[in-house]
Structure 1
Amino acid sequence: MTTPASRPSTAQAAGSFLIPLILVTSLFFMWGVANTLNGILIPQFQKSFSLTNFQSGLVQSAFNLGYFLLALPAARIMKRFGYKTGIIIGLVLYALGALLFFPAAEIRVYGLFLMALFVIASGLAFLETAANPFVTVLGPAETSEKRLNLSQAFNSLGAIMGIVIGRFFILSGVEYTPQQIAAMSADQLQAFYTAETKAVQTPYLVLGIVVALWAVFILFSKLPDIKEEADASSQHQHGFKNLLGHQHFVAGVVALFLYVGAQVGTWSYLINYAKHTIPGTSELAGADYLTVSLICLMLGRFSSTFMMKYFRPNRIMALFAAANALLALIAVVMPGIIGLYGLVVSSFFMSLMFPTIFALSIKGLGNDTKIGSSILIMAIVGGAVITALMGLISDLSSITVAFLLPAVSYLYILWFAIKGFAPKHA
């Protein structure tokens, strides 16, 4: 049991936190795998279902919609039944969504794949809502930030692993030109589409089984019983209207919406950008660029954590936002290897944005912090909206022009980091 202050007692000893910390940190790794596999699925489904950029971008729309719709329900369920219950529900949904890939590939229905991704993301909404509170209380308060940074590092490893899985076990490297496809017989074309669609079966089947087994393991594991501290003020009902009075919070929700959209959109279309702006670039080579991009993200997380010892987080974020706006514009005006390198490096500067925007946005909310946090998680839906818009712009114009959206998003984040973050009650 926890103390009334929500933290396991000191007498429980630091060593008793090790196993729970490992179990919870594994969740960061697991949702990292699922998130970045989407960047592989977009070009894969575009090929196996002959989709437009907009249609393939619906992969991220379905995925991020799960976060939007399940964030508040997840918080309410865990408030009533505890974080361990929420974690198990999240893992079960994650496993179920992954296993749905098998029948979806058998009957070759794109809509069923989108439904499976929605189910996976619904599970991740539970996991992400539960994991951060667990990590912060599993040990002394003064070292909570270090533990959270360690867990985030494993999230980056999971993200890299997702791309590696997709690179070697999903992408076949078989790519035909429109002329070659037009020359195929109906049977040859059907065989090609079927083989490419079924390439996702085994990786997601294994992923689903592993996640399901982990849910069973968590079920029979002992985790600290984390309870929220009750106080008289918690009896008051604080709604959305009250949060609207916090201008910095509203600005933060917009900033997080745009950031997730810019991040997801960049990663989703990085392979397509490489293929369309550098003639002869294969999907496998594009996946390699995406892998390097995620390594840059991990390096950025360690570097920004170190920089925060000497500079205020909002100032670092302002510098990083300006850098990313410039890099996105370079990708637009200098398509090719220079633009591609710019997009790869931009992941380094993405590194601190999510946690920094989140922390600055909830500052000063008081008793509205919990509901404010849930709304910020809902802002992840930006990945659904902006990715779809980038796909639509790409279809109507070009993949390079689509990167104007991330550029504009980073300019807004630059403003938020300089001025918009400051708490000012309306």
Structure 2
Amino acid sequence: MASIPQGSAQSHSSNNEGNNTIPLIIVTILFFMWGAITSLNDVLIPHLKSVFTLTYMQAALVQLWFFGAYFLVSLPAGMYVRSFGYKKGAVTGLVIAAIGCLLFYPAATSSYNFFLFAFFILAAGITVLQVAANPYVAVLGSPKTASSRLTLTQAFNSLGTTVAPKLLAGVILGGATFLGAEELAKLSPEELHAYHLTEASSVQMPYLMLAGVLLLLAVIFAFAKLPTIVDAHDENDKGIKQAILSNLEAVKAYPRLALGVLGIFLYVGAEVSIGTYLVNFLGLERVAGLPAAKAAEDYLYLYWGGAMVGRFIGFFVMRYIRPGIVLSVCAGSTITLIMIATFASGPAAMWSLIAVGLFNSIMFPTIFTMALHDIGKYTSQGSGLLCMGIVGGAIVPYAQGGLADTIGLQVSFLLPAACYLFIFYFGAKYANLTKSEEEVREAVPAA
């Protein structure tokens, strides 16, 4: 998953590596937590779909509200952080995210719409947290090792997306007794309401635990001795109108940047969409016929874990092969795997879709750096535009849900395949770009 950088920042404190070990550990834990929380959506969506008898499109509203918060909250979050400071911003983000988790408790005795509201508040808190916490990765140590610290935090973000489904899927889904449409139709309104309450209540304890952890981190962060970060204000900070004009100027000057924004939109959309429907896909009789709990606990983590492993492989591969070529090869591989998953059955279909995670690994940072490569003074605007593309995680799963309701879930995966087709084109078109400069690599957010 991706986190949002906001402008450039500098520290007025010493960058001694030894003095920053504890703060770096704290920030790394934050990356782990928001990775874990985001991946839990993929566990909850099939659960809520069954509990509230939703269509695929209705179930995808979770991602629409969650990733929509990234798009809507990032700008006011940046303004808040600039006004009150990065440290207070991080604490505020943690508290808001904790409130979002706490809202899952009353949501379980209310309605699906209440769940969507809780998801939005949770995502809003994570957005504020990311805007505030990302700059600490750059200042907690020497500028020369900023890239290695970014790689470390990305790895822990991926670790969170990997272990959360494994650890909590059983708690959320293990005791669920999913009823079919015919069985639900036989229940009286009172019995149906009681069923909803019983099944939805399984999310209460896990999210209460997450709320407790987030509040504890807020207290630790509030009292931790962290470097003071000051924005390096420049001509980019001239108000919203000027920022929009600047962004348009950047896109006009560098069409590659515009294609990169579309690439990020489609990549995040495809990655999130596959994760969203993977549990339901594994439940299809034609594929594996797995119960939701087993699919989430034993297989969902492999999809996200593949991305974590692939990042380390990609780190070494791209030292010798141009990023565009690697991006095209990975995109071509995902298209092939999705086509197998769409038209095959049994283990071939199951493992093909799970393996997509491995090839997703390098896409976000590679598209990001290729889009920003050698665009000079527009790097800051470009970074902001690319992060806006993360809203693809809200739109593409919703669109695939509509397809799943009309043409079937398995065939609907042709939509993510089409997204990767554009990414293949982007990598091939700019395959001759040289490797990104150090300062461009450091502009890439954790994904």
Provide the TM-score with structure 2 as the length reference: 0.88
Report the equivalent of 1:192. Answer: 195
Report the equivalent of 1:286. Answer: 295
Query: In structure 2, what is the Cα distance between the partners aligned to 1:286 and 1:233?
Result: 47
> CA contact under 8 A between 1:93 and 1:123: conserved in structure 2?
yes
Question: Aligned pair in 2 of structure 1 residues 233, 389: CA closer, same or farther (>3 Å)?
Answer: closer
Query: In structure 2, what is the Cα distance between the partners aligned to 1:421 and 1:376?
Result: 19
Shift, 1:328, TM fit: 1.3
Matching of residues 204-243 of structure 1 within 5 Å: 204-230=207-233, 237-238=242-243, 239-243=246-250
Query: In structure 2, what is the Cα distance between the partners aligned to 1:234 and 1:72?
Result: 12
Cα-to-partner distance string for 1:211-243 (whole Å, 9 max, x where unaligned): 022112211111111223356787795522212
Whether 1:161 and 2:169 are equivalent positions in the alignment is no
Counterpart among 387, 391, 404 of residue 414 in structure 2: 404
Cα-to-partner distance string for 1:309-359 (whole Å, 9 max, x where unaligned): 222222211111111111111111114321221110100011111122122
Shift, 1:160, TM fit: 2.0
Shift, 1:272, TM fit: 0.6
Question: Aligned pair in 2 of structure 1 residues 356, 128: CA closer, same or farther (>3 Å)?
Answer: farther
Report the equivalent of 2:373. Answer: 363
Percent sequence identity is 39
Report the equivalent of 2:258. Answer: 250
Report the equivalent of 1:385. Answer: 395
Question: Aligned pair in 2 of structure 1 residues 47, 166: CA closer, same or farther (>3 Å)?
Answer: farther
SS in 2 for 1:174: coil
Report the equivalent of 2:384. Answer: 374
Whether 1:297 and 2:316 are equivalent positions in the alignment is no
Report the equivalent of 1:264. Answer: 272
> CA contact under 8 A between 2:158 and 2:307: conserved in structure 1?
yes
Provide the TM-score with structure 1 as the length reference: 0.92
Higher mean Cα deviation, 263-272 or 363-372? Answer: 363-372
Shift, 1:261, TM fit: 0.5
Cα-to-partner distance string for 1:137-171 (whole Å, 9 max, x where unaligned): 21122222111111111111211232124312110
Matching of residues 67-216 of structure 1 within 5 Å: 67-107=70-110, 109-171=111-173, 172-184=175-187, 186-216=189-219
Shift, 1:111, TM fit: 0.8
CA RMSD of aligned residues (A): 2.3
Cα-to-partner distance string for 1:79-102 (whole Å, 9 max, x where unaligned): 333322221221122111111111
Query: In structure 2, what is the Cα distance between the partners aligned to 1:83 and 1:419?
Result: 39
Total equivalences in the alignment: 418
Shift, 1:363, TM fit: 2.7
Higher mean Cα deviation, 195-204 or 276-285? Answer: 276-285
Query: In structure 2, what is the Cα distance between the partners aligned to 1:34 and 1:422?
Result: 38
> CA contact under 8 A between 1:234 and 1:367: conserved in structure 2?
no
SS in 1 for 2:320: coil
> CA contact under 8 A between 1:72 and 1:375: conserved in structure 2?
no
> CA contact under 8 A between 1:361 and 1:421: conserved in structure 2?
no
Query: In structure 1, what is the Cα distance between the partners aligned to 2:258 and 2:404?
Result: 30
Which sections of structure 1, spanning at least 5 residues, go unmatched? none
Report the equivalent of 2:41. Answer: 38
Read off the aligned partner of 1:415 and give its amino acid letter.
Y
Counterpart among 421, 424, 427 of residue 417 in structure 1: 427
Question: Aligned pair in 2 of structure 1 residues 20, 52: CA closer, same or farther (>3 Å)?
Answer: same
Query: In structure 2, what is the Cα distance between the partners aligned to 1:339 and 1:279?
Result: 9
Counterpart among 329, 333, 338 of residue 323 in structure 1: 333
Shift, 1:73, TM fit: 2.0
Cα-to-partner distance string for 1:23-66 (whole Å, 9 max, x where unaligned): 11111101111111100111110111111111011111110000
Query: In structure 2, what is the Cα distance between the partners aligned to 1:217 and 1:422?
Result: 47
> CA contact under 8 A between 2:263 and 2:423: conserved in structure 1?
yes
> CA contact under 8 A between 1:362 and 1:369: conserved in structure 2?
yes
Report the equivalent of 2:10. Answer: 6
Question: Aligned pair in 2 of structure 1 residues 98, 16: CA closer, same or farther (>3 Å)?
Answer: same
Report the equivalent of 2:320. Answer: 310
SS in 2 for 1:200: helix
> CA contact under 8 A between 2:108 and 2:203: conserved in structure 1?
yes
Higher mean Cα deviation, 312-321 or 224-233? Answer: 224-233
Question: Aligned pair in 2 of structure 1 residues 225, 332: CA closer, same or farther (>3 Å)?
Answer: same
Whether 1:275 and 2:275 are equivalent positions in the alignment is no
> CA contact under 8 A between 1:252 and 1:421: conserved in structure 2?
no
Read off the aligned partner of 2:152 and give its amino acid letter.
L
